[in-house]
Copies of this chain bind each other. A is one copy, B any other.
């Protein structure tokens, strides 16, 4: 079993089929856990990290979590494969840069979950779902957590809850996030208002690739910052029933405003995106994300009907550098990569020569 198998199609989170997928690409719930009796990763010895790794692997790979689980040691993993895992949101950029034999990730081959070992915490268990499916994602991550906990003793304090390397995760150790596509709020300029409002209620707003990344393609990750003093159910419920529906409503209002007040400008963006994606012979990765965003908006508003949402969602992923190179079968740099990207997109959009 290799990573090759998961390259050429989209993971679960980009199927584009989940509830409210016109605005919400994916839901994600992750738990931070540490083993009792060991120091946190940053303070541990190599010997200790190796022991943590072994214990976790035994439990993760024992067949109880899923039918097929892929175990990837990050130091042995080729650079392009690490990058691929980042692009698919299965590991963090920090984890990909690991220079430590005791770092690894376990991925179920349907890509519904990934478990990073020895990232910031001993275990980071994450479940990804398409559209708004936070309750479902929590149920699954909780099930995985329970299976692992049967054999491994977690660091837990009666007063604080789960103990984690960074204080922002102490308590539930849970982070809930949704990936939102907010092109209309961006076009109307209201996105900054939404960002400020989100921050005011202690939510983090990030770009496509998490911490420190830009919101290319008008894709925004919104997640909770507070993990202490509230139950998982409270956090989930507020997110699913208040925060997410409100942002969806704002985006929908902005889309309607564009349709009613600036339909020509809107169509101009949409049709230029379609035109360039189907005709350009070279495309940069950032330009593509912007164009795919406008095209996705056009499809969601029914302005363009020659392509479906799933194809666009897949292209968000397949046009990224590591995916392109995996599909191509060899390394591509600079102009050659931009050319390969344009070819792939023309082919997938049915516009190849």
Contact = CB atoms under 8 A, between A and B. Distances in A.
Interface of A: 264-265, 267-268, 271-272, 274-276, 278-282, 335, 339, 342
Contacts of A264: 281-282, 335, 339
- Which of A268, A274, A276, A335 has most B Cβ within 10 Å? A268
Copies of chain A in the complex: 2
A170 to B, nearest CB: 52
A342 B268 contact: yes
Given A264-B335, A335-B264, A335-B265, A276 B272 contact: yes
A275 B282 CA distance: 13
Given A274-B279, A275-B276, A276-B276, 8 more contacts: A265-B282, A268-B280, A268-B342, A271-B280, A271-B281, A272-B276, A272-B279, A275-B275
Nearest to A270: B281
A180 B329 CA distance: 46
26 contacts: A264-B281, A264-B282, A264-B335, A264-B339, A265-B281, A265-B282, A265-B335, A267-B281, A268-B280, A268-B281, A268-B282, A268-B342, A271-B279, A271-B280, A271-B281, A272-B275, A272-B276, A272-B279, A272-B280, A274-B279, A275-B275, A275-B276, A275-B278, A275-B279, A275-B280, A276-B276
A91 to B, nearest CB: 34
Contacts of A280: 268, 271-272, 275
Contacts of A265: 281-282, 335
A196 to B, nearest CB: 29
Contacts of A278: 275
A271 B342 CA distance: 12
Nearest to A279: B275
Contacts of A274: 279
A186 B333 CA distance: 26
A35 to B, nearest CB: 53
A265 B339 CA distance: 9
Contacts of A281: 264-265, 267-268, 271
Contacts of A339: 264
Contacts of A279: 271-272, 274-275
